[in-house]
Amino acid sequence: MELANINELLVKYENAETTLQEEQMLKKYFQQDTVPAHLIEYKELFNYFDDSSKEHFTKPIPIKPRSANWKWLSIAASVVLLISLYTIKSSDSIMSASERQEAQLAYQETQKAFQLISQNLNKGNTVAMNGLQEFEKAQNKIFTKNK
């Protein structure tokens, strides 16, 4: 590019009237090795801008993708807990008709069985008592003799 053009652009640049394209042209111009002596300080300036724009951020970006999920997890857990509590409680009180009948039957059968056992035990009781009376008779005989 011609020097006169550059000079003109530099004046515009200082008045902040240059467009971005014109500024790019200036940057490009001052990247060449030799520039006129009176423009040397602009070379420093534009090279500095160019170098500064090449700096990069190298550290990792910290974001926590799972932080939001914990909230939903706890909500899901509490819902499961409530449902399970409700079903356990309701299954306690509600019993189907056939189940109730069966339970009643089992109860009657058990009572019958207990009745049978107790009757037999009572039978045994009277036999044992008779046996004991027999012992007492013998005992009495011995004790009266000794006196």
Partner 1 sequence: MKQKEFLNTVMPFKDKVFRLAKRLLVSRDEAEDATQELYLKLWTNKSKLSDYKNVEAFAMTMTKNYCLDQLKSKRANNLTLVHSNYKDNNTPLHREIEIKDSVSRVHEFIEKLPEKQKLIIQLRDVENYDYDEIGKILDLQPTAVRVALSRARKTIREQLIKQHNYGIS
Alpha carbon distances (Å) from 112 to 98, 106, 123? 21, 10, 17
Single out the residue of 16, 94, 97, 142 in contact with partner 1 (rule: CB under 8 A): 16
Tell me if 14 contacts partner 1 by CB under 8 A: yes
Minimum Å gap between C-beta 19 and partner 1 is 8
**Comparison of 24 and 84: residue with beta carbon closer to partner 1:** 24
Told to check if 136 binds partner 1 by CB under 8 A, we report no
Rounded to 5°, angle at Cα 23 from 22 and 24? 90
Report CA-CA distances (Å) from 62 to 15, 59, 66, 72.
42, 9, 12, 22
User: Interface with partner 1 includes 94 (CB under 8 A)?
Assistant: no
H or E segment to which residue 73 belongs: helix 67-93
Tell me which residues touch partner 1 (CB under 8 A): 13-17, 20, 23-24, 40-45, 47-49, 51-59, 61-65
